[in-house]
Amino acid sequence: MTRLRAAFMGSPDFAVPSLHAVHRRCDLQLVVCQPDRPAGRGRKLSPPAVKQAALELGLPIDQPTKMKDGRLAARLGELRLDLVVVVAFGRILPPDVLAVPRHGCINVHASALPRWRGAAPIQRAVLAGDERTAVALMQMDEGLDTGPVYRMVHTPIGALETSGELFERLAQLGAEALDDLLAVFPEVPPPQPQPREGMTHAAMLRKEEGRVSWERSARSLVDHVRGMDPWPAAFTEHEGQPLKLFRARPSALPRGEHLPGTVVGVDDEGVHVAALDGVVCIAEVQPAGKRRMPASAWAAGRQVRAGTRLGD
């Protein structure tokens, strides 16, 4: 069987397992990723994870700064491609790029389409308390994650699973599904249109969304903390200073008459804080300028005890 001539487009860690799947199954001609960006305290230019992986594989790389000037479409056109695989590339593909490969562009999208179309499907699913999600292998069109779907692989979301943990699982699950599809592509059933009902939009996260409102149910607070982990991280204030929160779970301690945001107890498991209808246990925190630490150790050092208020 002749190997498909393919290009790969992706940028972050999530896309790396799929890059390896395309490299195994196809004659990979080019890897396209975002330009290097400043990162870290020194703001030094840092390459995206896909670029690093492509360099290790000895693959040619392109990092276009513009998508609509025709240059990328022209370069892809010279490669006589059968297929382009796109995974978390981070840019909208213009029509001239979508039209280049003989069999079109396939996208690995981390949601149960049409639920959570957009930039942050994993985080939005966790934040919403969804119990299940999926990875979808989709034929791309000019819409935002609107194309017909070749395959959908579903998976449960753990009750305490963070966005970061789900990212890692779905990256592998998506790569495995892509590997299976490419093993027989293009001899596959045609992709099926997405249902018209159930569409939700997964907007990109903003840093300010991490702020905790304690006047929410305990379950939604747990979902908020795990959904914002690792970025931008859920945060509150203690004595006027920001405090990031991690590893939340429902607590068995009684709420009593405590107002939301009030510490009701501290033990080896963490700091227990009143919510609107119950109590949440925060196992780890990160004070401003410090590393993550057990919440019990932070509470001991700052003399945090029952009755302490968190928040504005």
Domain segments of the chain as ranges: 5-202, 207-302
Q: What is the pLDDT of residue 108?
A: 98
Residue 239 burial by Cβ neighbours in a 10 Å radius (0-12, 13-18, 19+): exposed
CB 267: neighbour CB atoms within 10 A? Answer: 13
CATH domain 5-202 topology: Rossmann fold (3.40.50)
Instruction: Determine the Cα angle at 94 with ends 88 and 99, to 5°.
Output: 100
Specify the CATH number of the domain 207-302.
3.10.25.10
What pLDDT score was predicted for residue 1?
63
Per-residue tens of pLDDT for the chain, all 312 residues: 689 999 999 999 999 999 999 999 999 999 999 999 987 777 788 999 999 999 999 999 999 999 999 999 999 999 999 999 999 999 999 999 999 999 999 999 999 999 999 999 999 999 999 999 999 999 999 999 999 999 999 999 999 999 999 999 999 999 999 999 999 999 999 999 999 999 999 999 999 999 999 999 999 999 999 999 999 999 999 999 999 999 999 999 999 999 999 999 999 999 999 999 999 999 999 999 999 999 999 999 999 999 999 997
Beta bridge partners of 244: 235, 286
Round to whole Å and give the CA distance between 201 and 223.
Answer: 18
Cis peptide before 114 (omega within 30 of 0): yes
Give me the pLDDT at residue 208, please: 97
Contacts of residue 54, defined as CB under 8 A and 6 or more positions apart, other chains included, come to: 8, 19, 31, 33, 61
Closest CA relative to residue 155, chosen from 174, 137, 127, 142: 174
Q: What share of the chain is helix, strand, coil (3-state, %, to 5)?
A: 25, 30, 45
- Confidence at residue 38, expressed as pLDDT on a 0 to 100 scale: 86
